[in-house]
Structure 1
Amino acid sequence: MPFTPDQIAELNLLSLFDSTSSQEGIKVHQHSASPEAIAAAERLYSKGLITQHDGGYLTSLGVETVEHTQKLLSVLSTA
């Protein structure tokens, strides 16, 4: 089953988080972010992966998901 455009947007947003620091979050600015990023942040918040509807910090589930996302990106980026 292929990734949907919504899932790709969520993966892209998750890849912006630093999984090594729980003190660093992100902010998806409503006036400058793409509609896809704004919607992805809202979905990730609804799923319990981030603490705010517009970014914030990763939850414990979010940290685990980002680690998996980073592994996936690493495997797919290998030449």
Structure 2
Amino acid sequence: MTYTPELIAELELLRQYDLDNHLSGLKVHQDAEPDSIDAARRLHDKGLLSQPDGGYLTSLGRDAAEHAQALLIILSGRAEPH
């Protein structure tokens, strides 16, 4: 499996969720970039988002967002060394 543009768009959307606030969701408006609209729909279809246009993270979505955000921190060199 490779990182396709579709997967990257999904990761980018998951990156935007505030993991410190469970009551914080996202709304992907119809005038947003088509990649973002499609990513939200795919994440909803996969059971990661509560609504096709964003909404809240499901339990699985929260796990995915935590991993996606952690990976970004690690790869950007901002992780603290052990």
TM-score band, normalised by the shorter chain?
over 0.9
User: Unpaired runs of 5+ in structure 1?
Assistant: none
Do residues 58 (structure 1) and 62 (structure 2) align? no
Pick the structure with greater CA Rg: 2
Tell me the matched-pair count: 78
Q: Which residue of 1 aligns with 2:48?
A: 49
**One-letter amino acid of the counterpart of residue 76, structure 2:** S
Q: Percent identity?
A: 54
Secondary structure of 1:23's counterpart equals: coil
**One-letter amino acid of the counterpart of residue 45, structure 2:** S
Moved over 6 A (4+): none
Secondary structure of 1:18's counterpart equals: coil
Separation in 2, partners of 1:60, 1:19: 12
Do residues 36 (structure 1) and 35 (structure 2) align? yes
Separation in 2, partners of 1:2, 1:75: 19
TM score, norm. by length of structure 2: 0.90
Once the two structures are superposed, the pairs formed by residues 1-79 of structure 1 within 5 Å of their partners are 1-30=1-30, 32-78=31-77
